[in-house]
Chain A
Amino acid sequence: MSGNRVVLALLAATLPVAAVLVALSLPGVAPHTGATDSGQAINQLYWVVFSIVAIVFVLVEATLIAFVIRYRRRPHADQEAEGPQVHGNARVEVAWTLIPTVILIALAIYTFAQVPSVQATGDAGPDAVHVEITAHQFYWQYDYGEGRYSYDTLYLPVDRPIVLRIVSADVDHSWWVPELTGKRDAIPGRVNILRFRTEEAGTFTSGVCGEFCGTQHARMTTEVRVLEQGDYDAWLADQRAAPDVELGATQWKAACAKCHGLEGEGDVGPPIAKNPILGSPAELKTLVYEGLDTPGTEGYMPPVGYGWTDAQIATLIAYINSNEILAPPGGQGGG
């Protein structure tokens, strides 16, 4: 290359290289590092793909810019002048078909090699912690077995293999906590398994629903508290003392308040504070199992509590009765 060409190449590469460097300095250039083994493997794979595409990006854009500078028609040039009448070149075509093919095959092999670290399969071992996630419009119910539940907040122990069994009670949802790992859909009629090993204790607040699920999709968030083993055991033991007003409060907040307001004052749903149904376990159960569908109006209510046990309904009512703004007149005093 002559000196001029080197200068041109450097000049042309400046903008795309600068773009990559700026991107690298910004938050969000890569998925979260991941507080789990699976999330870390995704992050690592991402950087490999990112490096490949960043190099291709710089090469293509720099070539484009170099040609734009170098081959501009000069003022006063002959208007009739043409470039060399080159119609193609078989060798060049073969080369630039084969080179990307080889790179992509390599990337595919590396991707497959990473899959076991992202998605563990086989026996999770006796050490594994199993939680069933039921996605509802518009909250997450976490079932730890033996009648222990939490809502919109998942509790996990650190340094343990986790097996999440993800199902949906109504429409498609997707459980996604970017700080932990990638998402997995909750689809009615299907059971999906999401597995990872928690590697870091802490509270992760970025959880969302990743698949559009209706009016309050944006508010279907979740939090994950990864606790030290001792704290987790203590928390779990504490859950046996249901029905529990504090648990009922989280249930109200997750399942009812998103549409009816924290104090039942109404939002997308009507005001329900002091509604008699809130005091009647039987009526409340029918309502949350069947929802409401008033044709021709906006009065649709999804079956928010489809599958709730009587104990869960009792927990919710215990909270309602403890709250004087919400409790219907007849029900008060029962809590």
Chain B
Amino acid sequence: MAVSVPPAERERPSWLDGPVLSWLTTVDHKRIGILYIVSAFLFFLAGGVMALLMRIQLMQANQDFITKDAYNALFTMHGTIMIFLFIVPVLAGFGNYLVPLMIGARDMAFPRLNAMSYWVYVAGGLVLLGSFFADGGPAKSGWYAYPPISWQYPGNGQDLWILGIHLTTIASIAGAINFIVTIHNMRAPGMTWMRIPLFVWTIETYAVLLILALPTVSAALTLLLLDRQAGTGFFLPQEGGSAVLYQHMFWFFGHPEVYIMILPAFGMISEVIPVFARKPIFGYKAIAFATIGIAFAGMLVWAHHMFTVGLPVWLNGFFAVASFAVAIPTGVKILNWLATLWRGHLEYRAPLLFALGLIGFFTIGGLSGIVLATFPVDYQAHDSYYVVAHMHYVLFGGTAFGLFAGTYYWFPKITGRMYDERLAKWHFWLILIGFNMTFFFQHLVGLLGMPRRVYTYSRTGSFELYNLLSTIGTWVMTIALLIFVFNMIRSWRNGPRVGPDPWRADTLEWYADSPPAPHNFDSLPPVTSPRPLRDLRFRLKAQR
């Protein structure tokens, strides 16, 4: 193809080409992707420091390391930051970087809208972080902000929190529309729906879920803001409103949000495993349809967050069965990944190690999800540390392990350099130990009776010991993450240079240079299967 530098780019004034301004004004999906990934990771570090402070406070019974209100602010902001400022945007970052390359497109469908999404997200992040300086401190009513407690807190932290979430929501919806239009309209010739990489399938599903789920939380938070500032009483029983209504609205968004956060990580390891097993993915269609199946069933399970609200038993029963139903397509995925490993030639580079970690640990989170979906059992486990353990096995054991797999896998593509394998393996083993140490014992302390969101506790014995082990686990994870950061920075500067396709991979992004040119591709190989690059290698071999 004869696509060279397009005229628009040539006419840019030269002062926009400097090292800083060129990034601030970029509309290139790859640069926006990198901006997303790096910003999200910085927010991840901020949220991680908050977790460390909370764990120090909980290390022993009756501690006074931080104040009560500070603790309540920390768990609120830790959850908010990890969900709205880290996981969802970092996935948008990988999606931005990879989707056009994977489908053989030049950019996203709406590059300027794409840049707007990113900057609105940054604005939302700054509002949320800035709320630490608000009158009365940041929000203190949890990432789910149930009224009346979120209505009751004085000060402006909660209002800024609502503004921050609104901004990230606008960013995510605009980004989701962009993904959908791009995937539907800009696929290379031959790239049919059954040939797009599985990661693209998961980004498509991620985007559809965002559009379905986010408007509900926007509505709920707008009504909450009106209750706080305009004296309405939508969620206040004393004014004729309903506190439970908010819970329904929040979780109608909040549960699909979980699948928004996990499915693209599944997509990442669905790319990684075949390449490092030297096999095609087992059951491409099954995995693609399982993705859609999880998304569909995932829209119908929201009230399993509300089993103890006192809903009618038959309604609890419905949501329990719907939650069981999610386990079926999820199990299909896990078994398909295992079948892809079967008789493969497994090469234990960091991307595969983290992908295997996802299979091993997400499985634990999925199975504890079955325990929680059994609603009478949930009466004991709900809002206890058992749930904290469950969701961290899903979001850390699942999403974060998938993200690490993806980061190491695409690092050579994004930077043109290879990371340090030895350090990456240290990272893997230390995070494996630290993660399990932190969260495994939380299952036990939860069933012993430790509720979530408590700044302290007075029980001792094994109750206190589990908390201590959990705290020590966070320190091991900290060391692992420092190794990761060091590896990333050093390798980005000095790692050995690599060619377009260091992994002998399957998908189109590996046909572009590493890092890709601004216009991505000079030409594209024909796409006749989900693995155009392998096809190309075979054709070239046959010609030799």
Contact = CB atoms under 8 A, between A and B. Distances in A.
Contacts of B277: 71, 83
A82 B360 contact: no
Contacts of B327: 100, 104
Interface string A92-105: 11001100110010
B500 interface: no
A82 B345 contact: yes
A319 to B, nearest CB: 24
B328 interface: yes
A262 interface: no
Contacts of A31: 377, 380-381, 447
Nearest to B448: A28
Contact of A189 (B237, B447, B459): B237
A92 to B, nearest CB: 7
Contact of B149 (A26, A39, A171, A293): A171
B58 to A, nearest CB: 10
Contact of A97 (B328, B370, B447): B328
A53 B278 CA distance: 31
Interface residues of A, number: 93
Nearest to B150: A171
B451 A176 contact: yes
A28 B334 contact: no
A111 B376 contact: yes
Given A108-B321, A210-B451, A214-B72, 9 more contacts: A64-B360, A86-B339, A87-B283, A107-B370, A178-B449, A183-B383, A188-B148, A190-B309, A218-B456
Nearest to A34: B380
A223 to B, nearest CB: 12
B68 interface: yes
Contacts of A193: 310
Please indicate which of the listed interface residues B135, B242, B376, B448 has the most CB atoms of chain A within 10 Å of its own CB.
B376
Interface stretch (B14-22, B438-446, B474-482): B438-446
Contacts of A206: 448-449, 459
B152 A214 contact: yes
B322 to A, nearest CB: 10
A298 interface: yes
Given A29-B444, A96-B331, A172-B243, A83 B285 contact: no
Contact of B141 (A67, A100, A212): A212
A318 interface: no
Contact of B332 (A96, A268, A297): A96
Contacts of B279: 82-86
A25 B338 CA distance: 30
Interface residues on chain B, size class: 35 or more
Interface in A7-51: 23, 26-32, 39, 41-42, 45-46, 49-50
B379 A53 contact: no
A45 B148 contact: no
Nearest to A302: B152
B237 A188 contact: yes
Nearest to A183: B308
Interface in B326-375: 327-328, 331-332, 334-336, 338-339, 341-348, 356, 359-360, 363-364, 367-368, 370-371, 374-375
A208 interface: yes
B450 to A, nearest CB: 8
Contacts of A182: 308, 376, 378-380, 382
Contact of A174 (B244, B332, B383): B383
A128 B308 CA distance: 23
A50 B371 contact: yes
A56 B348 CA distance: 25
A183 B243 contact: no
A184 interface: yes
A40 to B, nearest CB: 11
B229 interface: no
Interface in A42-89: 42, 45-46, 49-50, 52-53, 56-57, 60-61, 63-64, 67-68, 71-73, 77, 81-89
B384 interface: yes
Contacts of A104: 324-325, 327-328, 370
B411 interface: no
11 contacts: A32-B449, A42-B380, A45-B377, A57-B364, A67-B344, A107-B324, A119-B376, A182-B378, A187-B309, A189-B244, A208-B449
B154 A42 contact: no
Contacts of B174: none
A225 B454 CA distance: 24
B345 A185 contact: no
Contact of A49 (B154, B321, B374): B374
B493 interface: no
Contact of B345 (A60, A83, A210): A83
Contacts of B459: 206
Nearest to A98: B328
Nearest to A50: B371
Contact of A83 (B152, B343, B443): B343
Contacts of B112: none
B308 A184 contact: yes
Contacts of A50: 371
B282 interface: yes
A47 to B, nearest CB: 10
Contacts of A97: 328, 332
Contacts of A188: 148, 236-238, 243
B321 to A, nearest CB: 5
Contacts of B283: 87-89, 93
A4 interface: no
B181 interface: no
Contact of B285 (A88, A185, A297): A88
B502 interface: no
Nearest to B363: A60
6 closest A-B pairs (Cβ-Cβ)? A182-B379, A189-B237, A28-B444, A218-B454, A178-B449, A192-B310
A124 B332 CA distance: 45
Nearest to B306: A185
Contacts of B345: 71, 73, 77, 81-83
Contacts of B140: 215
B286 interface: yes
B136 interface: yes
Given A57-B364, A64-B356, A111 B375 contact: yes
Contacts of A192: 309-310
Interface string A141-155: 000000000000000
A176 to B, nearest CB: 7
Given A53-B371, A217-B453, A298-B136, A181 B379 contact: yes
Contact of B68 (A41, A216, A293): A216
A296 interface: yes
A89 B281 CA distance: 12
A84 B324 contact: no
Contact of A118 (B69, B321, B379): B379
Contacts of B374: 45-46, 49, 107, 111
A42 B343 contact: no
Nearest to B530: A87
B371 A46 contact: yes
B324 A72 contact: no
B525 interface: no
Contacts of A27: 444, 448, 462
B68 A215 contact: yes
B190 interface: no
Interface in A287-301: 293, 295-298, 300
